[in-house]
């Protein structure tokens, strides 16, 4: 009886561990929350730094990104609804709003990438624009996407359970985003409250 109990316990641990190692197919979800730590290498300013980035998204509709420094100090908050974006830069006490473009994330993550591409990055869906070309691994997960015109290369690596690493390469900067957590629902937080002391600008 004792031997059977030990064998059963070992099997439970084995299968539980195995399930935790199976990569999550994020394409099956329509919304979620992701926690990540991001290493940014700014090639223009020759500096590197790490920030925490918490993201909430409803696929192809709304996205929120909250960026904090390593000690938890707020750096930026961004909200995307459709084609319109709003973001706060806390150190500069600045608020921006306007049409989403590849210029938006420059002040936040140092890389020129449209926030709308994060739907593809998070939900593991290939870009449909003609300038993008993507390849998948033998299991069917996205492995790499390139946009030669915009000098962008995106790579997905180290998929284990809900964890994955996303690498974004550009001539101006490189990003390594390590996704560490995922919750399969998003809160209704797709708006920003602008502090009275912040200057307001239009995205150009």
- Per-residue CA distances from 188 to 25, 32, 65, 195 (Å): 24, 11, 13, 20
Torsion 146-96-79-88 (CA) sign:
positive
What is 21-197's CATH topology?
outer membrane lipoprotein receptor (LolB), chain A (2.50.20)
The domain limits of the chain are 21-197
**Phi, psi angles (nearest 5°) of residue 141:** -85, 150
- The DSSP secondary structure of the chain, one letter per residue, reads -HHHHHHHHHHHHHHHHHHHHSPP-GGG-SEEEEEEEEEEEETTTTEEEEEEEEEEEETTTEEEEEEEETTS-EEEEEEEETTEEEEEETTTTEEEEEE--TTTTHHHHSS---TTHHHHHHHT----STTEEEEE-TTS-EEEEEETTTTEEEEEEEEETTEEEEEEE-SSEEEEEEEEEEES---S----PPPTTSEEEE--
pTM over 0.75: yes
Contact 37, 52 (CB under 8 A): yes
- The average confidence (pLDDT) of the chain is 90
61-119: pLDDT as tens digits: 999 999 999 889 999 999 999 999 999 999 999 999 999 999 999 999 999 999 999 99
Confidence at residue 20, expressed as pLDDT on a 0 to 100 scale: 52
Q: How many CA atoms lie within 13 A of 103 on its CB side?
A: 7
Count, residues in the chain:
204
Each of the 204 residues of the chain gets a pLDDT tens digit; together they read 554 544 444 343 334 444 457 889 999 999 999 999 999 999 999 999 999 999 999 999 999 999 999 889 999 999 999 999 999 999 999 999 999 999 999 999 999 999 999 999 999 999 999 999 999 999 899 999 999 999 999 999 999 999 999 999 999 999 999 999 999 999 988 999 999 999 999 998
């Amino acid at each position: 009886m004792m031997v059977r109990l030990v064998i059963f316990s070992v099997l439970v641990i084995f299968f539980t561990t195995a399930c935790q190692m199976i990569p999550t197919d994020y394409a099956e979800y329509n919304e979620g929350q992701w926690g990540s730590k991001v290493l940014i290498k700014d090639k223009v300013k020759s500096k590197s730094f790490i920030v925490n980035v918490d993201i909430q998204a409803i696929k192809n509709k709304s996205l929120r990104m909250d960026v904090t420094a390593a000690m938890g100090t707020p750096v930026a908050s961004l909200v995307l609804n459709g084609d319109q974006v709003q973001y706060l830069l806390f150190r500069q006490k600045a608020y921006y709003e306007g049409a989403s473009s590849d210029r938006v994330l420059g002040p936040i993550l140092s890389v020129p990438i449209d926030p709308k591409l994060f739907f593809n990055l998070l939900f593991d869906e290939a870009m449909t624009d003609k300038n993008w070309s993507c390849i998948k691994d033998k299991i069917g997960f996205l492995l790499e996407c390139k946009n030669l015109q915009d000098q962008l290369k995106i790579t997905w690596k180290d998929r284990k359970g809900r964890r994955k690493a996303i690498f974004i390469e550009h001539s101006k900067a490189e990003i390594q985003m390590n996704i560490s957590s995922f919750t399969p629902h998003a809160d209704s937080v797709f708006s920003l409250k602008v502090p009275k002391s912040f200057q307001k600008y239009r995205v150009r």
